[in-house]
Amino acid sequence: MTQPGIFALGTPEHSYLELDLVDGASAVDLVKAVAGLAGPLSTGGGVNLVAGFRPELWARIRPDGLPAGVTGFNEPIVGVDGFQMPATQRDAFVWIAGPNRTAVYTNALEVVGALVGVATVATELGGWVYAHDRDLTGFIDGTENPSLLDAAAVAVVGDGPGAGGSVLLFQRWSHDSLAFESLSVPEQEKVIGRTKLDSVELGEDVMPATSHVSRTVVEEDGEELEIFRRNTAYGTVTDHGTVFVGFAAQQRVLDLMLRRMAGATEDGLRDALTRYTTPVSGAYYFIPSVAALAGFAPEDAD
């Protein structure tokens, strides 16, 4: 069974914790501590918890539990015009989502307390849903998402190593909203590749090859390679942006998407949206299945 929080839509408040092992603690110690949390094994009380690990760390304790080709975000992606996507890989990831800030804060505090002596919080980020389904550019986010009926086929590893798990790409993107909002709406739409009001994809005759849609829609042999997004907004009026939370059954789909955005592919075209948004962090985590994670849980864990 896949960790259910991946697909638990409708939660407006989010907390993202990236963790590093403390000196003297082992990978097994960390996985056991995370597996001992109640959240990863069930979804209840209106709060969802999803937990994952740096792929190399998970492979260290489950050599047969990681799909081929899954690695950490260990090197920056270097594109054109000096553009880079930084690599800020950490050892573990915990995502808490809930109906209100109080519930999310309380659960996050319990998670941090349960991991004392094993891991420290390397980064903490709060996310929230903006205008129901839009990001801070004002455009609808996730239009390309598969429906929940199809999402598992896109986001979850099938048979073989890591079955039931998922590969997560976690990034923070800072927005230059003043610069983007200085564009006219038609200019903004050409940057994104969709209409702002109702998210209709622009026609081929007016769609720029550098639009966000053009660069993030990945095709192979004529078939679109999809991912499942759970993005949120973060920040304040003076410092804000998008938390990119993308799941896929294959890491190469996510990697190719990023390289196309950066212009690090043969055509050398950079996503126009990256002129107004800047990647601040980048990490990959493997999200084990409930059964794989439960194998490390204490006997008295719920």
Which residues are known to be catalytic?
141
From CA 208, how far away is CA 46, in angstroms rounded?
A: 42
At 286 the three-state DSSP class reads strand
Return all residues near 98 (Cβ < 8 A) that are at least 6 apart.
Answer: 11, 13, 46, 47, 48, 104, 107
From CA 92, how far away is CA 61, in angstroms rounded?
A: 14
From CA 169, how far away is CA 289, in angstroms rounded?
A: 17
Tokens of 219: 């095709």
Straight-line distance from the first to the last Cα atom of the chain, in angstroms, rounded to the nearest whole number: 16
CB < 8 Å & 24+ apart, contacts of 205-214? 208/272, 209/267, 209/269, 210/269, 210/270, 210/271, 210/272, 211/271, 211/272, 212/261, 212/271, 212/272, 212/273, 213/144, 214/269
From CA 88, how far away is CA 75, in angstroms rounded?
A: 9
